């Protein structure tokens, strides 16, 4: 099925702010040298936002819409 308004929805989070000081550590992307659950979660959400932005830059003129959303806060094992 074709769409006149194709879109990609990226599920991210406002938790990307957890990386505002350090950004993404591309030298240790798998967190093998240093692991912090909040930093790692924030890094993954920042990467998703950057991906959504790059999709917008590359494909917006072709009609593709790239949307990043924050679904809300839920209790998971990462915060318990």
pLDDT in tens, 18-70: 787 778 888 988 889 988 888 888 888 888 889 999 999 998 888 889 999 88
**Residues 6+ positions from 8 with CB-CB distance below 8 Å:** 52, 55, 64, 65, 66, 67
Residue tagged 């072709």 (tokens): 62
Given this model, what pLDDT does residue 57 score?
A: 93
- Give backbone dihedrals phi and psi of 9, rounded to 5 degrees, phi first: -105, 125
pLDDT in tens, 16-31: 887 877 788 889 888 8
* Greater model confidence, 71 or 74: 71
Query: Is 41 labeled as catalytic in the residue annotation?
Result: yes
Distance (Å, whole) CA 29 – CA 10 = 20
**Looking at 20, 35, 41, 59, which residue is catalytic?**
41
Given this model, what pLDDT does residue 58 score?
A: 92
SS3 17: helix
């Amino acid at each position: 099925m074709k769409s006149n308004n194709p879109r990609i929805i990226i599920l991210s989070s406002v938790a990307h702010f957890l990386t505002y000081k350090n950004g993404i550590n591309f030298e240790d992307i798998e967190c093998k040298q240093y692991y912090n659950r909040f930093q790692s979660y924030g890094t993954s959400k920042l990467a998703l936002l950057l991906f959504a932005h790059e999709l917008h830059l590359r494909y917006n003129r072709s009609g593709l819409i790239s949307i990043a959303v924050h679904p809300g806060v839920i209790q998971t094992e990462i915060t318990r």
